[in-house]
Amino acid sequence: MLKKGYLSPSILTCDFTCLEKSIKILEKAGCAWLHLDVMDGHFVPNISFGVPIVQSIRKKSLLFLDTHLMISEPEKYIKAFAKAGSNLLTVHIEVCPDIQKIVKAIHSLGVKAGISLNPGTPVELVEPAIGVADLILVMSVNPGFGGQSFMPVGLEKIKWLRKKIDHAGAKTLLQIDGGINDNNLHTVRKAGADSVVVGSALFSDPDPGNKASEYLKIMEL
């Protein structure tokens, strides 16, 4: 069953000197979520940004801050990211195998909890997150960089998880992240993604606001 859709624009590839302007464009287009890619240069081979940026964004925006922690030992940092204003904290199962424990810890901070898995991680490993986590994030690229090509294994995992979530009657949302653009947004949405992360396809467009409106419409088809 398809639930309401949430487009979650990733700011990873936007120009950080005009971050506020970019966020306002997304708000004006009608976006409700913002995807924040936190990278530590350890769990993934790249470094992006951390707590201070989340804090600054929170001061300027009321958007639902969907924070994707691509970091080792996320349990050490969840408190700081929750305090900074994140509404959802998603951690990776590859570094956080005890789903119950991390979800409980995140919930105790008063924010929603997500569990993510890399393209090479078997989908069965996140099955216990159904009905426990608020969101499961399926990676359709190897995390670390924006602008990579979509890996079809992500679509297969979305289909598999959609069936399991519906069968369980669970409220857990299903999200996909990586390589989403004009060619596959409709497909992943129809396959059962409740939330879709889009980064470079929005920010490489000459008119990101217009592109966001277009994608928001596709999310509702």
Among ligand DX5, Zn ion, none, partner that 164 touches (CB below 5 to 8 angstroms by kind): none
* Subset of 65-84 contacting Zn ion (CB under 5 A): 68
172 binds, among Zn ion, ligand DX5, none (CB under 5 to 8 A by kind): none
The H-assigned helical ranges of 16-152 are 19-29, 51-60, 78-84, 99-107
- Applying the rule CB under 5 A, the residues between 162 and 191 that interact with Zn ion are 177
- What single-letter amino acid sits at 28? K
Q: Which residue, 95, 79, 68, 61, is CA-closest to 12?
A: 68
In terms of CB distance, is 134 or 177 closer to ligand DX5?
177
Q: Minimum distance between the CB of residue 135 and ligand DX5, rounded to whole angstroms?
A: 14
Shorter beta-carbon distance to ligand DX5: residue 146 or 208: 146
Residues marked active site are found at 37, 177
Position 92 contacts Zn ion (CB under 5 A): no
Please report how close the Cβ of residue 139 comes to Zn ion at its closest, in angstroms: 8
Q: How many helices (H) and strands (E) does the chain have?
A: 8, 8
Of 128, 131, 184, 110, nearest to 153 by C-alpha is 184
- Please list the helix, strand and coil fractions of the chain in percent, rounded to the nearest 5, in that order: 40, 20, 40
Cα–Cα distances in angstroms (integers) from residue 117 to residues 42, 111, 152, 175, 207, in the given order: 16, 20, 14, 11, 31
Instruction: Choose the contact partner of 147 out of ligand DX5, Zn ion, none; CB within 5 to 8 A by kind.
Output: ligand DX5
Task: Restricting to residues 49-68, name those near Zn ion by CB under 5 A.
Answer: 68
Q: Which stretch binds Zn ion (CB under 5 A): 37-45, 55-63, 73-81, 103-111?
A: 37-45
Q: Pick one of 88, 129, 197, 216: the residue that binds ligand DX5 (CB under 6 A).
A: 197
Tokens of 136: 């499961």
Residue with tokens 């949405």: 189
Interface residues toward ligand DX5, by CB under 6 A = 10, 12-13, 35, 37, 68, 141, 143-148, 177-180, 197-201
